[in-house]
Amino acid sequence: DVKVTQSSRYLVKRTGEKVFLECVQDMDHENMFWYRQDPGLGLRLIYFSYDVKMKEKGDIPEGYSVSREKKERFSLILESASTNQTSMYLCASSLLGYYGYTFGSGTRLTVV
């Protein structure tokens, strides 16, 4: 079965901390995505990547960065966590040019 694994299901961090959210896929997919989901706002795209070391900004990239050193791994970095980054973070992957995404189970991040 195809799989997207997010390293943590729940995470609590302090304001100002640097936070790493990790995502690994085992399907050899070219595309990887990071979304955040908040009540009433739906899913919003933060960053995506279509190849190793390639990245593109999504709709809400401010306060985030990403890293893709290997094809199977896409990391989301919160340089200095703030309380407004408390959210559910969802990672997804897909084949190049294909919109059948596979999502991970999500990481619920709370910044206190």
Q: Given the rule CB under 8 A, which residues bind another protein?
A: 4, 30-31, 33, 35, 40, 42-43, 45, 48, 50-51, 56, 58-59, 90-92, 94, 96-106
Give the nearest distance from C-beta 83 to another protein in angstroms. Answer: 22
Query: In the complex with another protein, which residue's Cβ is closer, 45 or 77?
Result: 45
Give the nearest distance from C-beta 82 to another protein in angstroms. Answer: 24
Token pair of 35, please?
Answer: 């979304």
Query: In the complex with another protein, which residue's Cβ is closer, 17 or 28?
Result: 28
Give the nearest distance from C-beta 80 to another protein in angstroms. Answer: 26
Query: In the complex with another protein, which residue's Cβ is closer, 62 or 99?
Result: 99
Backbone angles phi, psi at 104, to 5 degrees: -80, 180
Q: How far is 64 from 85, CA to CA, in rounded Å?
A: 10
Q: Are 92 and 102 in contact (CB under 8 A)?
A: yes
In DSSP terms, which residues pair with 74 in a beta bridge?
23
Q: Are 21 and 7 in contact (CB under 8 A)?
A: yes
Residue type, 40: G
Query: In the complex with another protein, which residue's Cβ is closer, 80 or 98?
Result: 98
